[in-house]
Amino acid sequence: MPDKVSTHENIILTVILVGVLMASIDSTIVLLAFPDITSALHSNLSTIIWVILIYMLVSAVATTQFGRVGDIYGRSRIFNAGLAVFTVASLLCGLAPTDTLLIAFRAVQGLGSAMVSATSGAIIADTFERHRIGRAYGFTAMGWNVGAILGIVLGGFITTFIGYRYIFFINVPIGIIALLLGVRYLKDNSTLKEKLDLTGMLTLVIAISSLLYGGVVLASSGPNAFDIGMIIAGFVFGAIFYFAEKRSKSPTIKFDMFSNTVFRNSIFASFLQGLGFLGVTFMLIMYLQGVRGFSPFYASLLLIPGYVASGFLSPFMGRVSDKHGARVIATAGIAVQILGVLIYLTLGTLSSIYMVMAGSLVVGLGGAMFWPSNSSAVMAHAEQKRFGTASGLLRLFSSMGMMGSFIIVMVVSSLSIPRSMAFQVFAGTSKIIGGVASSFVAGMHVSFIAMIIMLLIAGIISFARGKENRDVPVTAVSA
């Protein structure tokens, strides 16, 4: 019997990994294709940049919604539906004849990605016992990192030798296979006997969309009344959502979940770690392409050591967190990432590329320690009937950190170079020359210091989560 259960668990984990790989690949594969897409669709960079931004925005907004929907209607159903949506949207992206349609289909693709990512963590928590889920989350963390590597390599190769449209077409056969496996092996054991809070869901969507969209456009084009108004509206709708949900009988987010210290601190640590870590990656890409003059493909390859280290070490680190809890290893992971950013602080206009690779390796090691252990802590301290909501919240805060990182990078970059040039540098279509390069590096160092501060706060919150007890099931959220 144990062998059969183990085989079944491995099959489920494999299906989850395939879904995660597809979503991860598409988070990086587009980066290297910006110039080709802009030329082929007769567009401009300020428009095409939304090919990646809309994917991030929709994923961030929709994750909490689909986590909750999965709790009520079945997590496996939503996961499989997400695979189908993602696969069809990938085909449409490849066929898109205009930039507007491509951006629209990328939004749909982001919707599919949200359905997959919001429920994948919940399915793992359903499948594995609480004291063994760290290892499982280690493999999903490996999937995110391997997918990022494949996105870089495949994006460069396919765009150069085949054509940019095939960076989307490649998802179609993979998605079909994953969907067939998902329908065959993923089953829902139980669902939450509650109704959807449609008013709450709509209010939350408006709040998050207004905040993130207003922030991104504000960082991209500079201060204006409309974008400031969007951000204010986001906070207002967020407050409305909070007070309305406290009185709702079937809330979209049960805020009592946050009364559990381990759960709450793990969620907030994820947000702050993402806010600091991903901003570093964005800034490094701009440094390597703009200041050093490297091609997008070569610049991305220099960051691969971190992805490789994180990918291969994540399952092992997840297993360690199963034995010793997430507090020490996740906090130590953040400390290691801070060390990696300190290495990046030594970069100048003519620094050795080996310093970039060394920093990437150290930061990747820290990520391997943090991600699986922190994810397992979130799910191990959530009620089973709300696994989908918990998984969606984790992805929401992580995605908001990603978007916040982009905003920080664009604001910092615009202090030393024009915003239009910042976009061109990020896409690899322009370089920074002369004294501007030194100014940009100085600004980059300031941003790194800001991100170190964010990581320090994340580390403090992570350590303050306290000790865990994964042997006792969470039947009601407690402090």
Q: Tens digits of per-residue pLDDT, 133-148?
A: 888 888 888 888 788 7
Average pLDDT score over residue span 95-105? 96
More confident residue, 69 or 476: 69
- Angle of helix 99-127 relative to helix 387-414, nearest 10 degrees? 140
Q: Is 226 exposed, middle or buried (0-12, 13-18, 19+ CB in 10 A)?
A: exposed
Q: What are the pLDDT digits (tens) for 385-409?
A: 888 888 888 888 888 887 888 788 7
Indicate the SS3 state at residue 164.
coil
As given in the structure block, the two tokens for residue 445 are 């160092």
DSSP assignment letter at 98? S
- Strand, helix or coil at 41? coil
Q: Which fold has domain 2-186+250-463?
A: Growth Hormone; Chain: A; (1.20.1250)
Q: Residue 425: its pLDDT value, please?
A: 77
CA-to-CA separations, 433 to 113, 287, 288, 418, 436, in angstroms, rounded: 38, 12, 13, 13, 6
Q: In the predicted model, is pLDDT for residue 378 greater than 70?
A: yes
Quick check: 190 pLDDT over 90?
Answer: no
163's tokens: 């054509």
Question: Would you state the torsion angle of the CA atoms of residues 345, 349, 352, 356, taken in this order, to the nearest 10 degrees?
Answer: 40
d(CA 38, CA 40): 6
pLDDT at residue 410 tops 90 = no
CA-to-CA dists, residue 282 to 155, 285, 350, 461, angstroms = 17, 5, 19, 24
468 conformational bin, left if phi > 0, alpha if psi -120 to 50, beta if neither: beta
Structural domain boundaries of the chain? 2-186+250-463, 197-249
Question: With 60 as the cut, is the pLDDT of residue 434 above it?
Answer: yes
- The CA distance from 105 to 95, in Å, is 10
- Confidence at residue 136, expressed as pLDDT on a 0 to 100 scale: 86
H or E, element range at 403? helix 387-414
